[in-house]
Amino acid sequence: MNKIDEKLKTVKDEVVNCHKCSLFKTRTLPVIGQGSHRAKIVFIGEAPGSSEDKTGIPFCGQSGNILTELLDSIGIRREDVYICNILKCRPPNNRNPQTNEIEACISYLERQIEIIKPKIVGALGNYATSYILKKYNLGDKIQGISKIHGKIFKVKTSFGEMKIISLYHPAVAAYNANMRSVLKKDFQILKKYNEK
Ligand code: URA
Ligand code: SF4
């Protein structure tokens, strides 16, 4: 195993045994992340839903099908990107993540980003967008997602410059063709980041 794989494995082992918030008691499987450890694009969702909780795979239900379709539309395979969430364990009945749970869990995501060193992070939905903008000192840029979706933010990280793009959560496109076309358009912006 090389260094990147080893470091991600350490994160995984810690999440599997994590009791830092009470969600470990009600979840079935933790959902750590899936995809290329050398991804140029990392997607961050909110938290596992019921399909994810059963399989341990992020975005494997209805939202996941939409995400895969959006990636297809720009010629990128799921295996080429890395997909994970703010929370690694499912909140009961898909309730919203609580602040204390995000605070307890967030270091895992931070480490995943530091290890993978993506060119760009796609923040899916409001939770991911607010978290990631705050984390990189762009808290003053936080606005409703209808205002900032599709915008690129440049940030400095320990591994150099990284970009962030705020995107609607794929779930909003499930029953709304309009949203689906907005998402499709925003995904076009991502295309070039997967190139060399
Ligand atoms: N919604 C999310 O935010 N994440 C998942 O993994 C699935 C649905
Ligand atoms: Fe640990 Fe995160 Fe699961 Fe809470 S949600 S138990 S902090 S892995």
pLDDT tens-digit profile of 159-174?
Answer: 999 999 999 999 999 9
pLDDT tens-digit profile of 136-161?
Answer: 999 998 889 999 999 999 999 999 99
Tell me which of 88, 98, 111 to substitute to probe ligand 2's pocket, judged by most ligand atoms within 8 Å of the beta carbon.
88
Domain boundary assignment for the chain: 3-195
Statement: residue 1 has pLDDT above 90: no
CA distance 66 to 87: 20
CA distance 122 to 116: 14
CA 38 to centroid of ligand 2, rounded, Å: 24
pLDDT tens-digit profile of 86-138?
Answer: 999 999 999 999 999 999 999 999 999 999 999 999 999 999 999 999 999 99
CA 21 to centroid of ligand 1, rounded, Å: 19
pTM of the predicted structure, to 2 decimals: 0.97
Q: What is the CATH number of domain 3-195?
A: 3.40.470.10
Statement: residue 196 has pLDDT above 80: no
Helices (H), the chain: 3-16, 23-26, 50-55, 62-73, 99-116, 125-135, 145-148, 177-190
% of the chain at pLDDT higher than 70: 99
CA distance 178 to 35: 28
CA distance 60 to 164: 23
Sheet of 34-35: strand order equals: 34-35, 82-85, 41-45, 120-124, 160-167, 152-157
State if residue 42 touches ligand 2 by the CB under 6 angstroms criterion.
no
* The predicted structure's pLDDT at residue 10: 98
Using CA atoms in the order 126, 130, 132, 136, what is the torsion angle rounded to 10 degrees? Answer: 160
Query: What is the distance in angstroms between the CA of the first residue and the CA of the last residue of the chain?
Result: 24
Tell me which of 15, 98, 109 to substitute to probe ligand 2's pocket, judged by most ligand atoms within 8 Å of the beta carbon.
15
